[in-house]
Amino acid sequence: MAQEWPIVEALLGGTAAMRKAGAQFLPKWPNEDPVSYAARLATATLFPALARTISVMSGKPFSKQLTLGDDVPANIVEWCDDADQQGDNLHSFAADLLAEALGYGLCGVLVDYPTVGDAARTRADERALGVRPYLVLIRHHQILGWQTERIGGVTRLTQLRLAETAEVPDGEFGTKCVKRVRVLTPGLFQLWEEPEKKDEEYTLVGGGVTSLPMIPFVPFYGKKKGFMCGVSPLQDLAYLNVKHWQSQSDQDTILHVARVPVLAMIGADEVGADGQGGTQLTVGGSAAVRLPKDGDLKYVEHSGAAIEAGQTSLERLEDQMVTTGAELLVMKPGDQKSATQSNNDAEGNKSDLQRIVESTEDGIDQVLQLMAAWVKLPDGGHISLFKDFGAATLTDASAQLIVTMQQAGLITKETAIREQQRRGMLAADIDPETELAAVEEQGPPLGTLGLQDPNNPGNGDGGNGQ
């Protein structure tokens, strides 16, 4: 997996990172002068197709607020307002998580808990100290290795090694960063510090026991290939983006050549073997050139055919990149799992992004369960993300259909409100029960007062019940 990461890291780093990569992504031409290559590299600019696509795609599920289910415990709901103890709520944290998964194919969340030692002997002590579980986003390059076993028919992590960096004091006023490896096993963790010299051994600098019988880590995938193995669904777009980087450099070079015409002298005297003679040329408004009979002096310019061909090639590449990125949103037939699902187009036809978001939902549910496990709660609850990307153009029609079904008595008013929230027609923070109670207090809608007797639905107050 790591072999594919450098190309994405450079592209997401922008023009500066691509220039720093040098010949890795912008090869030298045969016999190209080093000075010319350096000038060509210094003027190359990146078209940020991959970065823009990841930003757009990872933002779609979070264009609506992440919704916590009613089964999420109250204290976990409170903790989700600052999920990582760095000011990011669960909505923002999950958005960064999905962007990392789309870009690199694999990342994860470590559900950690502060080490308090003897300072907290009871739950009341922990609450007084403000300690509680929090989330740590583990990026692709931090996952160094793992070991697994099948336990009860389920693949479980038995060891996980994560790279991290710690800032430590350096002298009276300075600080320095040291590299460490966190080794996690069920019920145990260790911290090993990287030596300053390569021939030295790692040093154990910390560790301890945990109260969990499992490793509190949840992997997240772009395109899952297996347990703890995933690839970016936008890998092909990354290669197209590098091709565009190279082609754009060629185009810029030929434009530079075409914009600087070459002055040619035809039939001029040649320089002798002794270096003497030859037509002397002085360019200027008051200068004159003496040419022999039938001699000529003119500028030689590029025909422009190659420029047009290069521009056409660039435009086609850009179209290909747009198409490749947009494929994540294309509705595709899926594997039907039941007769009910086979009759449901929303289940049977999903885009790749919708499937990735559903997997992300499941992963976040596991994260909430681990948060609950740290504080001995039985259940962490569930979350939901906005997933109706492919049906966006049918929003108005489907919203009207929901109203019709409710009026026909096929679904309840509460279900109708939830379905409208799922489609983005109503705010996600509206509580259906509270809303229906408020509607009840307001009384019947205008124009319906007196049309129906609540004690005798079949007859109106002054009519015949028709």
Distance of CA 311 to CAs 137, 158, 252, 317, Å?
Answer: 42, 54, 10, 10
In a domain? residue 343? yes
Which residues, other chains included, contact 222 with Cβ-Cβ below 8 Å and sequence gap of 6+?
Answer: 101, 102, 103, 104, 105, 106, 230, 231, 232, 233, 234, 356
User: Does 413 reside within a domain?
Assistant: no
Q: Which secondary-structure segment (H or E) carries 341?
A: helix 339-342
The token duo for 417 is 């409100």
Non-local (6+) Cβ contacts of 59 within 8 A are 95
Do the domain assignments include residue 419?
no
Is 278 part of a structural domain of the chain? no
Query: β-strands 262-266, 143-151: how paired?
Result: unpaired
| Assigned domain for 386 exists | yes
Residue 322: Cβ-neighbour burial (10 angstroms; 0-12, 13-18, 19+):
middle
Tell me, yes or no, whether 424 lies in a domain.
Answer: no
How far is it, in rounded angstroms, from Cα 423 to Cα 382? 19
Task: Provide the pLDDT for residue 362.
Answer: 96
pLDDT value for 74: 94
pLDDT for 11 equals 96
Q: Are 350 and 332 in contact (CB under 8 A)?
A: yes
**Host domain of residue 299:** 1-139+221-264+290-390
236 inside domain: yes
Q: Which residues are paired to 297 by β-bridges?
A: 265
The neighbouring-strand residues paired with 263 are: 299
Q: What is the mean pLDDT of each run of 10 residues along the chain (466 residues)?
A: 94 95 92 89 91 89 93 95 94 96 97 76 66 95 96 92 93 92 96 90 92 95 94 94 89 65 63 57 59 64 61 78 79 53 53 92 97 94 85 44 59 78 75 86 66 48 44
Calculate ∠ Cα 230-6-20, nearest 5°: 165
Q: How many domains does the chain have?
A: 1
Beta strands 174-185; 217-221: pairing state: unpaired
Name which of 26, 123, 97, 127 is nearest 356 in CA terms.
97
Q: Give dist(CA 20, CA 28) in Å, integer.
A: 14
pTM of the model: 0.72
Are the C-beta atoms of 211 and 189 separated by less than 8 Å? no
In the prediction, which pLDDT does 250 show? 79
- Assess if residue 173 is contained within a domain: no
